[in-house]
Structures are given as C-alpha cells and as structure tokens.
Amino acid sequence: MMNTPLRIAGLLEHAEKWHADTEIVSRLAEGGLHRTTYAGLGRRSRQLANALQRLGISSGNRVGTLAWNTHRHLELYYAVSGSAAVCHTINPRLFAEQLVYIINHAEDRVLFFDLTFLPLVEKLAPSCPTVETWVLMTDRAHMPEATTLPDLRCYEDLLAAENNEFEWPLFDENTASSLCYTSGTTDQPKGVLYSHRSTLLHSFAAGLPDCFNCSARDVILPVVPMFHVNAWGIPYLAPMLGCKLVLPGPGLDAASLYELFETEGVTFTAGVPTIWFGLLTFMREKQLRFSTLRQMIVGGASCPPALLRAFDEELGVTIRHAWGMTETSPLGTVCTLKPQQLRLSPDEQFAIQTKQGRVIFGVDMQIVNDEGRALPHDGVAFGDLLVRGPFIVADYFGTEPGQLTPDGWFRTGDVATIDAAGFMQITDRSKDVIKSGGEWISSIELENLAVGHPSVAEAAVIGVPHPKWSERPLLVVVRKPGQEISQEELLAYYDGKVARWWVPEAVEFVNQLPHTATGKLLKTQLRKDFDGYQW
Ligand code: AMP
C-alpha cells in the first residue's frame, strides 16, 4: 500500500477538488452573514499559509486563536496545521488569569482574535511576552481607531497581500496539529496536543453511521465551539464528507440559532445541554417546529432525560447522547441503539437513550475499582472509567510523562457503569461522587431526577460532611420563574425512584448555580458556597 501520511491539509485538498461548490456560511462577529465554498476556503487558507510564513511561523510553532465559529477560524485551522504549525484554540470563556497562563504555557507566537475579544486581548497582552504579532480577524473597515496593542494587524489585509499558491508540505502524520487546554476547575489548565494522525482517525470514526451519521447530503451547524476541542471534530469531518457547513459565529442565542437552522436548511447539529435547553424553551414559547433538522447530538455534560424526550417526542428530532473529553479528541461514546434494543418497549428504549452510549471504533474502555481491578459490565457496578486508543491523550503538553496506568490506560476522572450490551453511563466525576456510609451515591442521577420535576429549572447535588454518614447529598435547586415548591414536595418526588438512602438530606433554593467557562456545573464553587453547612 502507498504510505501516504494522514494530514489535515489532505481534508482540504479533498473538499476543494470534490466538493468545490459546497457552501460554508458564517455569521460574523462584525454582523451579517458571509458565504464561501470549499474552493474559497482552499484559496484563502493558502493565502493565510503564505502570510504565516511571512510572519516567521514555522513547523511546530504555536499560533493562538480566540475566535467564534466562522470561516476565518476555519481558514486558521487549515492554514496553521496544514503548514505544520500548531493551531492553539483558546477558550475565551476561561478566566483572564487562566488565559494568560495558557498563552504563556503554549508560548504562542501569534494571536488571532475576533473583534468581540479586542478589550479582553488588550487586557491580557502586557502579560503575554511570547506573542510577537496580534491579528484582529476582521477587515480594514472594522479596525479600531485606537488600541493599546502594539502594531495590531488586520486579518483581511494580511490575506490580501498574499497569492493563493502554496504547496502544503508533506511530513510525518504524527506531527502535532492543534492544541487545546482543559477547562481546569481545580488545577491549572492542562494542554492536550493532537496530531494529524489522531485528528484524521477521529474524523473517520466521527463520520460513522453509529456516531454522527453524516454524509455529503447533510448541512451541519456546529454549536459546539471551535475554541474548545475542535468543535468535536466537525471542522474536519465536514470537508471529509463534503457537507455544507453553517457556522453560527457569536450568535448562540436560541433565536439566532433557530433562524440559521431554518434559513440554511440545517440537518445535523451538535451542542451542550444548556444550549438545547434554551432552544427548546424558545421553540415552545413561540410554538415553532424544525423543517429540516433530522438529528442532533447532545454531550459535554450529562443530558437530563426530560430534554432528550422533548426533542425526540415533541420536536421529532433524533437526539443522541454522547460522551467525551478534551483528552479523547473528544468523541468517546455515542448512544445509538443496537437492533435487539429496538424491539424493547418505548420506555425501555428511552432508559437506554439516557446513557452516554457505547464506544466508537478507536476507543476502548473499562471500569475499575479503587484497587484498579476491572468491574463487571452489569449496568450496576460503578467505578473509575479508563479509556485507551489512537486519539486518546498519552501525556499532557509540556509535562512530565507518566499520566497513564502501568498498562496504558488513561484515567478519565469520570465514574461510570457499563451494561451487558456495552452502554456506558456516567454516574459522576470522581471528585463529585457522594460517599455516604461507605457507599457511593451518584450526584448526576439525583440531579437528573430533580430537573424532571416541572417546577425545577436547574439542580445540583453535592456531598456535605455529615456526623454519622461521613457525607450526605444536599440538593441545590433553581426554581422555574413563578413556581413555588417546597423542600418536602421535592424530596417526596424521589420516592420510589431511587433507594431511600440516596434521597437528598435537604434542599436549598438559590437564584442561580455557578458554572465553569464551558457551561458545566462548577461544583468546586458550590462546595465552597455551602462550606460549613449545618444539616
Ligand atoms: P471537557 O474536557 O471540558 O470537554 O470535559 C470533559 C468532561 O465532561 C468529561 O470527563 C465528563 O465529566 C463531562 N462530560 C462530557 N460529556 C458528558 C456526558 N454526555 N454526560 C456526562 N458528563 C459528560
């Protein structure tokens, strides 16, 4: 066989040649929609590659981006990785100190950013000595009149000065292609360095029918941001398959998303539960329906069953639950039912759909107890979830090796069950498990049940020290506007749904819950808020 290295530029060359006129539509930070094609993406990515060379960027250098999902960000994905440099996507939702830490740790030489982030970047710049060039991702007309950034460059001017001839270099497929830092709720963020090979293998896996199940006939709108874990691989998957891409830019509110779904004929989308919750509420209020959307993926955080049911039964969309993490590129499991399960009753099928699902090819998993011994796949035993495979991290960027178990597994930090059919269900983050009387209680299961109550908008469960049981679950609830519900009613709601000793010890009502930069419940903060809590 030909020994052709797997390279990200190969995806672009394929799309340019075989899907040249397939559209890429973006909503821009400056406002308005922008339309291009894969042919256009190819031309501009090569112009950008020339510009990067002129800026002195060479193989292995890190180029930072602080940007929304737009065609310009996509050009950076291809131009930077394609020319053997490392595309370091930075999550603007992190705290300023974390951003400074990340930029310095990655030693970014250039930082590309959207107009939205100009004030933020001006604030960070004095603490980021490795950055030699600042590039604002806009045209001349939108450049600021004054800025504290030294020699701020204009993205469109950089491109305009270059021609679109550039030969993508050939190199080993294990060359680093992109870098993403974990959100780091307790420790400093840690960098995961992807390679061309891992990215391509992940894309092949993502496109499979039991995974994203997309084809050239699909129109994909990734709500998941390109600034975090490469938007779950969609920027690579779409050119691989030749799908039309719709990039929502900063417009992540329900009304803007719904408008794009409808006007651009979107058939497939992926996002976190919070986004889908907002969209559902909006569509219910306005009594709207989808005309083209046929399937969606929800992941990144546990999806409450009520949300899955609403999209499936009320809005007629095939919604599937997926699990993954920055360290797994990110797709690990997707919940697509097997044929024998399709013969079960609707309720039994639904119970499976709430799980995080089964592994995609390229990922192997197991659950182990505290001593590292493998636990049975019976859907009941829960333990630490370990994974391995060619798109799973081996070591964090710039740290000492030694992350893996002696036999080569990555510890996810998640606690899960696996059933006999191979369906995994996350029961907790290992740090969030509640240890009551020597037994473990799943905070996620208690939260999912609470949000199934019609008066509950959001819920979190944390373990709080208890004199007799060492820890007991405390349920913290945000009520829906105008809804009254008492502690007694809420606790009674658990009757018959979980073992009696799992029922939370008490309920506290709050106006809002703390979230991480990526929209996950920030339980470390919540535990601080309830530090010293008296039962
Ligand atoms: P991140 O690396 O920021 O994408 O976060 C990864 C973590 O998010 C995982 O280790 C899980 O704890 C959590 N997570 C991701 N997807 C799911 C899911 N479908 N259900 C529950 N937790 C999830």
Q: Residues 225-252, buried b or exposed e (16+ Cβ, 10 A)?
A: bbbbbbbbbbbbbbbbbbbbbbbbbbbb
- Of the residues 173, 327, 447, 471, which is catalytic? 327
**Angle between the N-to-C axes of helices 254-263 and 273-286, in degrees from 0 to 180, rounded to the nearest 10:** 80
Distances (CA, A) of 408 to 201, 328, 403: 19, 14, 9
pLDDT confidence of 436, banded at 50, 70, 90? Answer: confident
pLDDT tens-place string over residues 11-47: 999 999 999 999 999 999 999 999 999 999 999 999 9
Choose the residue to mutate in 93, 302, 327, 424 for probing ligand 1, maximizing ligand atoms within 8 Å of C-beta: 302
Write down the CATH number for the domain with range 8-23+33-196.
Answer: 3.40.50.12780
Handedness of CA 98, 102, 105, 111 (dihedral sign): negative
Rounded to whole angstroms, the maximal C-alpha distance in the chain is 73
For the chain, give the mean pLDDT.
95
Query: d(Cα 145, Cα 500) in Å, to the nearest integer?
Result: 64
Write down the CATH number for the domain with range 434-529.
Answer: 3.30.300.30
Ligand 1 contact, 323 CB (< 6 A): yes
Ligand 1 contact, 301 CB (< 6 A): yes
pLDDT confidence of 150, banded at 50, 70, 90? Answer: very high
In the chain, where are the structural domains located? 8-23+33-196, 434-529
Which ligand 1 atom is at minimum distance from the Cα of 516?
3
Q: Which residues pair with 318 in a beta bridge?
A: 295
Q: Residues 285-298, buried b or exposed e (16+ Cβ, 10 A)?
A: eeebebeebebbbb
Residue 516 confidence (pLDDT) above 80: no
pLDDT tens-place string over residues 379-399: 999 899 999 999 999 999 999
* pLDDT of 387: 98
- Catalytic residue flag (residue 435): yes
Choose the residue to mutate in 179, 211, 325, 461 for probing ligand 1, maximizing ligand atoms within 8 Å of C-beta: 325
Distance 324 CA to ligand 1 centre (A): 6
* pLDDT of 184: 63
Ligand 1 contact, 521 CB (< 6 A): no
- Catalytic residue flag (residue 182): yes
- Catalytic residue flag (residue 167): no
Residue 187 confidence (pLDDT) above 80: no
Residue 79 confidence (pLDDT) above 80: yes
Ligand 1 contact, 325 CB (< 6 A): yes
Ligand 1 contact, 429 CB (< 6 A): yes
pLDDT tens-place string over residues 121-147: 999 999 999 999 999 999 999 999 999
Choose the residue to mutate in 520, 522, 524 for probing ligand 1, maximizing ligand atoms within 8 Å of C-beta: 520
Percentage of the chain lying above the pLDDT 90 cut: 88
Q: Which residues pair with 415 in a beta bridge?
A: 384, 428
Mean pLDDT of 361-384: 95
pLDDT tens-place string over residues 466-488: 988 889 999 999 999 999 999 99
Q: Whose CA is nearest to atom 6 of ligand 1?
A: 325
Q: Whose CA is nearest to atom 1 of ligand 1?
A: 325
- Catalytic residue flag (residue 440): yes
Of how many residues is the chain composed? 535
Q: Is residue 87 within 8 Å of 80, Cβ to Cβ?
A: yes
Residue 186 confidence (pLDDT) above 80: no
Residue 418 confidence (pLDDT) above 90: yes
- Of the residues 147, 156, 440, 508, which is catalytic? 440
* pLDDT of 486: 94
Q: Whose CA is nearest to atom 10 of ligand 1?
A: 325
pLDDT tens-place string over residues 293-302: 999 999 998 8
Distance 413 CA to ligand 1 centre (A): 10
Distance 272 CA to ligand 1 centre (A): 10
Residue 319 confidence (pLDDT) above 80: yes
- Of the residues 182, 267, 328, 427, which is catalytic? 182
Distance 258 CA to ligand 1 centre (A): 25
Contacts 24+ apart (CB under 8 A), 168-174: 168/7, 168/9, 168/12, 168/13, 168/49, 168/82, 168/83, 169/59, 169/83, 169/84, 170/5, 170/7, 171/5, 171/7, 171/59, 171/84, 171/196, 172/5, 173/5, 173/6, 173/7, 173/197, 173/200
